[in-house]
């Protein structure tokens, strides 16, 4: 091709781009079917609302999305949460009968996407959901890496409410960082880290501790919060180490840690690293008297399976929902319905949180939906978000759910420290050896 | 009849094993989730049908015997095909029966993909006995088709195959085509079902007929055009046709995101970034012939550098803090700096390893990429790179008021840079540098002796590749807005390599096609996403063995890649002839001996 | 006039090209590396008592390094044997190793649960090794037959890319077949704990690893030196064309090479699984690259080189981060242990591509 022809082509291309750009909607629009503008019907509430209303015509369903880790190595986490949402939709009519219920007189259309437990996955899945102008709210994400700065921003840009059942990283609801359209029913790890530190100091009488975190935001934050809490109560951190979640050989690291003979070794990582650390620590002479503590990232059956005998006596922290999961509703209605739907017992803990999340979203929709009188409703987006963040005293499976303005709905969290083999993921009736309830006000900012 | 039957059995055995493999690895069950046509034809079903068909086609292909090409007649072809297809069916049916006897749960405790859903698909929901019978029968039927395929009248074969391909492609693109049609306000419910999202039977039939007709017409024109003598007039029409085609592609590329919506734009944005990276790798590996497995490192460097230069925040457990070293530059200024950084690092990486041969060079680049990722994730460099949590709140960039965080707008940005990269590639290919690379690729010592400064051109290749990779990284950081080390694993290098190889080493249109296939399709179809890496691995091996020059070959490279192969094939043929001759001689001798004895 | 200018410019450029840029860069690099190593080591060894590592820690590091090195040596042998004959890097060898470990896993699990493993530890380990070898050899032979043999004469780029593709393919095949979760590999109770040998506590598993690896190495060396097949292998490694003219069936020799490499990888797989207690579909990648580094370090193509390289890398990986980085206050030094390995690889390839036992000269392109 000659140079001239090439230049002509480039010029044509450039001109076309400019033309289409000029004709484009600017920031915030450019969606698939029209803009999220004002509503033709409905009250003045829609026009005043910054993001307008979602118009649900008569007989049309309300679209709710899920953005969870449903594929890959952490599928057990995301799928479990997704089942919780499905059960919540079923229970909207007051019974687990396999037929979904309704919100404000409309059916619910669940759209499931994968958050890939990564930033790109969160972006890809989040974009797919946010492109649907009928999307009212999204339950997700499973992993912090998909939400932080990615999905939460994508949703907030469209005014779509995002409620997570399992993100625990403090930054998602930190002042100045949170997007405003984000909430979570999972606990804030500021609380969990502080409670683990309390356990180490008060219960175990530890004076020195070492931490090992992996590359995930979850572990990084949790280890840091633990260190802060431990040191503020007079303890000393001997070493804080980092690993890759795909590493398999921790012996040199553990040998190095053993040199300082810490009283406690805290490794809030995921499996299999968690299990392998516990297993290999048993072979290190210097760590014989060191208490091993993991957190809810370790809390699945593969921990005890992989670590075997070495895990005996180690501690795992995770939300202590026994006050409610021992309750009637959970045991006699929820669990059987879960097993009917899935064919197996729960693989993770957060189905309860996603169940509650879906329910408070449904309640918020019911509260703000504007009935247009002809069978259609309008749901103002900002009002929905406000209503959700104002949720107070809702009795869910995970406890009493009261949201604060920054998005933390699990404001009063009970974390239990369980000792292997008495752990909830192997024995649903397990009792913690230490349990504490804290609110966000109790922990340092 | 021994020959075709034996061929058929051999092909059938292989086909059956492939089918069992696909079943055990879980692809069939997973692909069954995607409905293609109507309610019955799923991608899983198509996958199930491919091995018997392919086995039959392979069994009935023409052979080289005794130096002559021997085509199989229709009957022989039928025999071979049916044998191949039926045996494939028998193998998978037998496997099914065995699994059933052992007990699905026991098998599942080891082979996790063997689920009741899989059995359902394989038995077409009709139970083991009936299912097995159907498998054998269907296999035989498909085998029959495959067997006689080559004997059919030449004219309709290829158009029909193309037609089927178009139907399947449209069915797989069920996420974008309906949206585009909606955007153009074209009625589409006759084509795509609202319930299953796949094609309707009516739509599929219409598309098949239309596509076959168009393909037939087009192929016919091409044949007649090539048969007629080349004259000046024809050249003109051909180049006008090509120009129109190019303009059409440009228009389509520009307009597509407006029509197809933000989901597709987001996917195309990712594809675009990989196209850019692949164009860079194409220059280093395709033109300059150096296998560079460290591209992910430049991707990483570009992303982090751009984020730090334009402003980002570190994520710590206690909130956001600015990194130790960062600036607040304009994105485009930062981009220029990133280009320089990429080029310099590329040259620095290349400088020490100039004398190393291909394998070692590849390993060194691989090591470099691994080091880059580990350092970016490390606690040691955390104050700069943000450690495992990376950087967030990367400052947005915009052009004429269009924010690039929007998928559609980002797509244009990346398209623009791809165009520049294409231009650079094109100029390089036809320049002195390109010729020097050609010479180096063919024989480095000779090139050196002829006075080509190999060191200089190798450095140049790496520098350009590094610069392009870094630009890709900068664009990526703008697109996602967060820079996390998990996005820069060695897998990126391998993916980019797969794109270049599949598309064709040294071929720019090939790179685009490769990226669309390897990244666009899995982006659209989550079933493919699940098996993406498996497909990449298999595709790399298959391409290298069957068609090393890739889908859209660069003519010069394909000659190089195939050269030694051709020599090898020639030897094989000669050996085969010798064996044949020896066998015939032996036969003649035994016959003579029997005759002697008998008389 | 122009000619004089041209000539002058050409001379200047020529001088520039002869300017030993490469030499200077290399010298600067080596000085930098030696300096950094020395500095880091000295700082670590002179740390005050509370922060320094105790002698027992160093001892543990070294013992651990030797045990790991044994595993790397076994895998490195596979790389080096194949390279010797085919002059190609079998990228997928790490996956052969993984296949062996996986192959033995299901039996190991079953036997542990039934108690057979604890009753008969040596017998069960022996059987596991045999099983692992069988699976690994199968994978290796299939690899050779399907992926490498058709490409015997192809330009060097092609088999390398094929190997990468095969590695990806095998990894994900195992992922698809057996699932993506990591599984715990059981150990006989008889193998838990340590023995004290010469006053040094060594884990029983590590002793097993060392003994088995030593036996395998000796057996291999004898095999290659004494048997006919071994001699054929050496001949083919020298010059495949001439060897085939002398009547050696090169195809069969190649298959034998892959078989032996597979056997060693299978043994390594079981040993690795017993040592670290887990297997997963991606377990072959990192040991594969590390073992390849070991092979290159020792001298690719040489059996004793692979062994030496393996042990050296094992120790360097174990001791390196502690020794080099703790003193200069690098946080979390063990995170960077792979950086140490890769830097070693790069340095070896830069300065002595022939490896420790090699000729010291780069094999020309």
Instruction: Inspect the interface and report whether the beta carbons of B364 and C346 lie closer than 8 Å.
Output: yes
> A137 pairs with which residues across the strands?
A64, A161
DSSP assignment of B384-412: HH-GGG-EE-PPP-EETTEETTSHHHHHH
B316–chain A nearest CA distance, Å: 7
DSSP of C336-347 = GHHHHHHHHHHH
Looking at the domain assignment, is residue B116 inside a domain? yes
C128-166 pLDDT, tens digit each: 999 999 999 999 999 999 999 988 877 777 888 899 999
In 3-state terms, chain C is what percent helix, strand and coil (to 5)?
75, 5, 20
Residues B307, B221 share a domain: no
- Same-domain status, B134 and B68: yes
**What are the tokens at C255?**
């298959």
> Which site among A28, A130, A220, A224 would you substitute to test the B interface, given the most B Cβ atoms closer than 10 Å to its Cβ?
A220
Residues B248 and B376 placed together within one structural domain of the fold: no
| Position with higher pLDDT, B272 vs C335 | B272
Q: What is the mean pLDDT of chain A?
A: 82
* C-beta atoms of C318 and A252 within 8 A: yes
Residues B442 and B430 in one domain: yes
**Contact partners of B by the rule of 3+ C-beta pairs under 8 A?**
A, C
From chain A, pick out residues whose CB is under 8 angstroms from the CB of B392.
148-149
B458 lies in the same domain as B351? yes
CB contact set of B327 (below 8 Å; sequence gap of 6+): B308, B309, B310, B311, B334
Last residue of a domain, one of B131, B151, B171: B151
Q: Which of B227, B252, B279 is the last residue of a domain?
A: B227
Q: Are the Cβ atoms of B374 and C335 closer than 8 angstroms?
A: yes
Q: Which of B105, B245, B388 to mutate to test the interface with A (most CBs of A within 10 A)?
A: B388
* Rounded-to-10 torsion of CA B206, B207, B213, B219: -170
Contact criterion met (CB < 8 Å) for A252 and C64: yes
Residue C181 to residue A249, Cβ atoms within 8 A: no
**Domain hosting residue B406, numbered range:** 261-483
CB contact under 8 A, A280 and C277: yes
| Chains in contact with A via at least 3 Cβ–Cβ pairs below 8 Å | B, C
Domain membership of residue B517 (yes or no) is no
Residue by residue, pLDDT tens for chain B (599 residues) are 567 788 888 889 999 999 999 999 989 988 888 888 888 888 989 999 999 999 888 888 887 777 777 777 788 888 888 888 999 999 999 999 999 899 888 888 888 888 888 888 888 878 888 888 988 999 999 988 888 888 776 667 888 888 999 999 888 888 778 777 777 778 877 888 777 778 888 888 988 999 888 888 887 777 777 766 655 455 566 677 777 877 888 788 777 777 777 777 888 888 999 999 999 999 998 888 888 899 999 999 999 999 888 888 777 666 677 888 878 888 888 899 999 999 999 988 887 777 777 778 888 898 899 999 989 888 788 888 887 777 877 777 777 777 777 777 888 888 889 989 999 988 888 888 888 888 888 777 788 888 888 888 888 999 999 999 999 999 998 888 888 887 888 889 999 999 999 988 888 888 888 998 898 888 778 778 888 889 999 999 998 888 888 888 777 776 666 655 444 445 556 666 676 777 677 666 666 666 665 54
CA-nearest of B54, B111, B108, B127 to B85 is B54
Q: What is the largest CA-CA distance in chain B?
A: 104
Residues B130, B78, single domain; the answer is yes
Shared domain check, B134 and B46: yes
Rounded to a whole number of angstroms, the distance from the CA of C31 to the nearest CA of chain B is: 14
Give the minimum alpha-carbon distance from C38 to chain A in angstroms, rounded to a whole number.
21
Mutate to test the interface with B, among C176, C295, C332 (most CBs of B within 10 A): C176
Pick the residue of B105, B249, B389 with the most A CBs within 10 A to test the interface with A by mutation. Answer: B389
Which residues of chain A neighbour B263 with C-beta distances below 8 Å? Answer: 127-128, 131
Per-residue pLDDT band at C4 (split at 50, 70, 90): low
B266's enclosing H/E stretch is helix B232-281
Query: Is there a contact between B24 and C177 if contact means CB atoms under 8 Å apart?
Result: yes
pLDDT value, residue A57: 83
* A10 pLDDT more than 70: no
Does residue B375 share a domain with residue B335? yes
B98 is written with which tokens? 């065995």
The pLDDT score that the predictor gives to residue B153 is 66
Report d(CA A284, CA C193) in Å as an integer. 10
pLDDT at A423 over 50: yes
Give chain B's domain count.
4
Whether B51 is in a domain gets the answer: yes
Q: Dihedral of CA C76/C77/C80/C86: which sign?
A: negative
Rounded to an integer, what distance in angstroms lies between the CA atom of residue B183 and that of residue B178?
8
pLDDT at C361: 44
Closest to A148 measured CA to CA, from A411, A407, A433: A407
| A26-44 confidence digits (pLDDT tens) | 333 333 333 233 334 445 6
Q: Shortest Cα distance from A326 to chain B (angstroms)?
A: 31
C165: nearest CB among B358, B363, B537 = B537
Q: Note whether residue B428 is domain-resident.
A: yes
Give the residue on C whose Cα is nearest the Cα of B354.
Answer: C22
Closest-CA residue of C relative to B530 is C176
Reduce the DSSP state of residue C184 to 3 states and report it.
strand
Closest by alpha carbon to A121, among B294, B482, B302, B274? B482
Q: How far is CA B33 from CA A383, B179, B198, in A?
A: 38, 21, 11
Examine the domain organization and report whether B81 and B196 are in the same domain: no
- Rounded Cα distance between C186 and B48, Å, is 38
∠ CA A75-B198-B214, nearest 5°, is 130
Boundaries of every domain in chain C: 75-283
Helix axes B454-480, B295-310, angle to 10 degrees: 50
Least confident of A46-60, A393-407, B63-77, C271-285: B63-77
Are B330 and B282 in the same domain?
A: yes
The nearest CA of chain B is from the CA of A395 a distance in Å of 30
Q: Which of A9-18, A249-258, B91-100 has the lowest mean pLDDT?
A: A9-18
What digits encode the pLDDT tens for the residues B203-256? 889 889 998 888 888 877 777 777 666 554 555 666 777 778 778 887 887 777
Could you tell me if B217 and B354 lie in one domain? no
Same domain, B117 and B167: no
Neighbours of C211 (CB within 10 A): 11
Q: Taking residues A302-326, what's their average pLDDT?
A: 82
Maximum CA extent, chain A = 80
Contact A255 C61 (CB under 8 A): yes
The CA distance from C211 to the nearest CA of chain B, in Å, is 31
> Going by C-beta distance under 8 Å and a sequence separation of 6 or more, which residues neighbour residue B107?
B99, B114
Domain end call among B431, B465, B483: B483
Chain C adjacent subunits, 3+ CB pairs under 8 A = A, B
3-state secondary structure chain A: CCHHHHHHHHHHHHHHHHHHHHHCCCCCCCCCCCCCCCCCCCCHHHHHCCCCEEEECCCCCEEEEEEECCCHHHHHHHHHHHHHHHHHHHHCCCCCCCCCCEECCEEEEEEEEECCCCHHHHHHHHHHHHCCCCEEEEEECCCHHHHHHHHHHHHHHHCCEEEECCCCCHHHHCCCCCCCCEEECCCCHHHHHHHHHHHHHHHCCCCEEEEEECCCHHHHHHHHHHHHHHHHCCCEEEEEEECCCCCCCCHHHHHHHHCCCCCEEECCCCCCHHHHHHHHHCCCHHHCCCEEEECCCCCCCHHHHHHHHHHCCCEEEEECCHHHHCCHHHHHHHHHHHHHHHCCCCCCCCHHHHHHHHHHHHHHHHHHCEECCCCCEEEEHHHHHHHHHCCCCEEECCEEEECCCCCECECEEEEEEEECCCCCCCCCCCCCCEEEEEEHHHCCC
Closest-CA distance of chain B to residue C114, Å: 16
pLDDT score of A137: 94
Residues on chain A touching B415 (C-beta within 8 angstroms) = 17
* Cα–Cα distance for residue pair A63/A111, rounded to 1 Å: 7
């Amino acid at each position: 091709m000659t140079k001239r022809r090439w230049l002509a082509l480039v010029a044509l291309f450039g001109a076309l781009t400019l033309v289409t750009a000029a004709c484009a909607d600017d920031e915030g629009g450019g969606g698939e079917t029209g803009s999220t503008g004002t509503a033709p019907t409905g009250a003045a509430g829609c026009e005043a609302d910054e993001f307008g209303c979602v118009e649900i015509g008569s007989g049309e369903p309300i679209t709710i999305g899920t953005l969870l880790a449903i594929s890959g190595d952490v599928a057990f986490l995301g799928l479990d949460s997704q089942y919780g949402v499905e059960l919540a939709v079923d229970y909207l009519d007051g019974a687990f009968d396999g037929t979904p219920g309704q919100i404000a007189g409309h059916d619910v259309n669940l759209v499931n996407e994968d958050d890939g437990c990564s930033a790109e996955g969160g972006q890809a899945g989040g974009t797919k959901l946010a492109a649907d102008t009928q999307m009212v709210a999204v339950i997700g994400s499973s992993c912090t890496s998909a939400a932080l700065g990615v999905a939460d921003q994508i949703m907030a840009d469209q005014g779509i409410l995002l409620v997570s059942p399992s993100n625990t990283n403090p930054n998602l609801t930190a002042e100045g960082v949170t997007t405003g359209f984000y909430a979570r029913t999972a606990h804030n790890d500021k609380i969990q880290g502080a409670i683990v530190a309390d356990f180490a100091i008060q219960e175990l009488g530890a004076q020195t501790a070492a931490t090992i975190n992996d590359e995930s935001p979850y572990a990084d934050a949790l280890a840091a919060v633990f260190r802060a809490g431990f040191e503020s109560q007079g303890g000393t951190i001997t070493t804080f180490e980092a690993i890759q979640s795909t590493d398999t050989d921790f012996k040199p690291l553990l040998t190095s840690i053993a040199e300082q003979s810490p009283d406690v070794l805290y490794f809030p990582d995921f499996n299999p690293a968690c299990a392998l650390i516990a297993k290999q620590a048993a072979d290190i002479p210097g760590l014989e008297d060191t208490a091993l503590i993991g957190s809810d990232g370790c809390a699945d059956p593969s921990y005890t399976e992989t670590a075997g005998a070495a895990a005996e006596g180690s501690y795992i922290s995770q939300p202590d929902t026994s006050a409610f999961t021992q309750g009637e509703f959970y045991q006699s209605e929820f669990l059987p319905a879960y097993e009917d739907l899935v064919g197996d017992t729960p693989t993770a803990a957060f189905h309860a949180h996603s169940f509650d999340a879906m329910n408070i979203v449904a309640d918020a929709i019911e509260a703000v939906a504007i009935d247009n009188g002809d069978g259609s409703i309008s749901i103002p987006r900002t009002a929905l978000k406000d209503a959700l963040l104002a949720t107070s005293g809702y009795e869910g499976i995970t406890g009493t759910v009261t949201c604060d303005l920054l998005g933390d709905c699990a404001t009063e969290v009970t974390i239990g420290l369980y000792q292997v083999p008495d752990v909830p993921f192997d024995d649903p009736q397990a009792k913690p050896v230490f349990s504490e309830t804290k609110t966000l006000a109790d922990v340092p900012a | 009849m021994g020959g075709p039957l034996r061929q058929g059995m051999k092909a059938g055995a292989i086909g059956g094993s492939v089918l069992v493999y696909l079943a055990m690895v879980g692809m069939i069950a997973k692909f069954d989730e995607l409905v293609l046509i109507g309610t019955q034809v799923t991608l899983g079903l198509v996958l199930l049908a491919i091995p018997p068909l392919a086995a039959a086609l392979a069994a009935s292909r023409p052979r080289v015997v005794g130096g002559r090409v021997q085509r199989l007649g229709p009957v022989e072809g039928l025999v071979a095909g049916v044998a191949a297809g039926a045996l494939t069916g028998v193998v998978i049916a037998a496997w099914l029966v065995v699994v059933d006897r052992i007990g699905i749960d026991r098998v599942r405790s080891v082979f996790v993909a063997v689920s009741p859903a899989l059995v359902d698909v394989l038995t077409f929901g009709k139970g083991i006995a009936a299912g097995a019978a159907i498998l054998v029968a269907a296999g035989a039927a498909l085998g029959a088709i495959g067997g006689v395929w080559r004997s059919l009248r030449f004219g309709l074969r290829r158009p029909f195959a193309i037609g089927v391909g178009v139907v399947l492609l449209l069915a797989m693109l069920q996420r974008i085509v309906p949206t585009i049609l909606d955007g153009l306000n074209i009625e589409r419910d006759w084509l795509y079902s609202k319930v299953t999202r796949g094609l309707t039977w009516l739509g599929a039939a219409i598309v098949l007929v239309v596509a076959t007709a168009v393909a037939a017409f087009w192929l016919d024109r091409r044949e007649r055009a090539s048969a007629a003598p080349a004259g000046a007039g024809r050249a003109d029409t051909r180049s006008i046709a090509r120009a129109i085609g190019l303009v059409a592609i440009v228009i389509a590329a520009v307009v597509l995101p407006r029509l197809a919506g933000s989901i597709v734009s987001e996917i195309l944005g990712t594809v675009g970034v990989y196209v850019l990276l692949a164009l860079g790798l194409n220059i280093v590996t395709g033109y300059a012939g150096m296998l560079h497995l460290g591209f992910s490192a430049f991707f990483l460097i570009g992303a982090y550098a751009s984020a730090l230069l334009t402003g980002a925040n570190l994520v710590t457990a206690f909130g956001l803090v600015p990194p130790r070293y960062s600036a607040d530059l304009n994105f485009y200024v930062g981009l220029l700096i990133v280009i320089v950084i990429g080029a310099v690092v590329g040259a620095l990486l290349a400088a020490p390893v100039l004398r190393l041969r291909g394998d070692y060079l590849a390993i060194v680049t691989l090591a470099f990429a691994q080091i880059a990722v580990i350092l970016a994730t490390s606690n040691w460099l955390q104050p700069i790179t943000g450690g495992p949590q990376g950087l967030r709140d990367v400052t947005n960039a915009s052009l004429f008021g269009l924010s690039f965080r929007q998928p559609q707008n980002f797509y244009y940005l990346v398209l623009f840079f791809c165009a520049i990269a294409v231009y650079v590639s094109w100029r390089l290919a036809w320049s002195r540098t390109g010729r020097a690379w050609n010479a180096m690729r063919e024989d480095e010592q000779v090139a050196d002796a002829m006075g080509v400064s190999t060191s200089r051109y190798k450095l140049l290749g790496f520098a350009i590749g590094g610069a392009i990779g870094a630009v890709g990284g900068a664009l990526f950081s703008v697109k996602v807005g967060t820079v996390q080390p998990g996005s820069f694993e060695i897998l990126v290098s391998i993916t980019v390599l797969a794109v270049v190889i599949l598309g064709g080493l040294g071929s720019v249109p090939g790179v685009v096609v490769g990226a669309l296939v390897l990244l666009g399709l899995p982006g659209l179809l989550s079933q493919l996403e699940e098996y993406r890496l498996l497909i990449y691995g298999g595709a790399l091996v298959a391409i290298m063995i069957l068609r090393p020059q890739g889908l859209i070959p660069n003519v010069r490279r394909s000659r190089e890649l195939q050269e030694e192969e051709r020599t090898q094939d020639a030897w094989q043929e000669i050996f085969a002839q010798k064996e044949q001759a020896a066998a015939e001689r032996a036969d003649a001798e035994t016959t003579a001996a029997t005759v002697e004895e008998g008389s | 006039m122009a000619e004089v200018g041209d000539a002058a410019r050409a001379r200047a450029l020529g001088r520039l090209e002869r300017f030993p840029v490469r030499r200077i860069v290399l010298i600067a690099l080596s000085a930098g590396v030696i300096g950094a190593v020395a500095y880091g080591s000295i700082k670590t060894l002179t740390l005050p008592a509370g922060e320094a590592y105790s002698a027992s820690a160093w001892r543990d590091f070294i013992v651990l390094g030797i045990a790991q090195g044994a595993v790397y040596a076994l895998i490195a042998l596979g790389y080096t044997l194949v390279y010797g004959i085919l002059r190609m890097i079998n990228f997928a060898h790490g996956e052969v190793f993984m296949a062996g470990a996986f192959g033995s896993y299901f039996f190991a699990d079953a036997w542990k649960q039934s108690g057979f493993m604890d009753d008969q530890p040596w017998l069960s380990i022996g059987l596991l090794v045999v099983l692992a070898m069988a699976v690994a050899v199968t994978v290796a032979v299939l690899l050779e037959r399907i992926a490498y043999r058709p490409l015997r004469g192809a330009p060097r780029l092609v088999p390398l890319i094929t190997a990468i593709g095969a590695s990806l393919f095998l990894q994900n095949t195992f992922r698809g077949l057996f699932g993506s979760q990591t599984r715990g590999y059981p150990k006989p109770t008889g193998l838990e704990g340590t023995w004290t040998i010469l006053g040094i506590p060594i884990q029983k598993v590590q002793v097993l690893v060392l003994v088995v690896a030593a036996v395998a190495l000796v057996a291999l060396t004898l095999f290659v030196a004494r048997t006919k097949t071994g001699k054929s292998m050496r001949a083919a490694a020298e010059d495949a064309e001439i060897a085939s003219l002398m009547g050696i069936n090169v195809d069969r020799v190649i298959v034998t090479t892959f078989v032996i490499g597979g056997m060693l990888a299978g043994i390594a797989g079981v040993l690795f699984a017993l040592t670290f207690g887990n297997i997963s579909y991606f377990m072959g990648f990192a040991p594969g690259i590390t073992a390849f580094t070991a092979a290159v370090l020792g001298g690719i193509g040489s059996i004793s080189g692979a062994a030496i390289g393996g042990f050296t890398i094992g120790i360097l990986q174990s001791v390196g981060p502690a020794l080099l980085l703790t003193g200069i206050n690098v946080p979390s030094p063990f995170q960077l242990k792979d950086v140490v390995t890769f830097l070693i690889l790069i340095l070896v390839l830069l300065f002595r591509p022939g490896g420790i036992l090699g000729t010291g000269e780069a094999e020309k392109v």
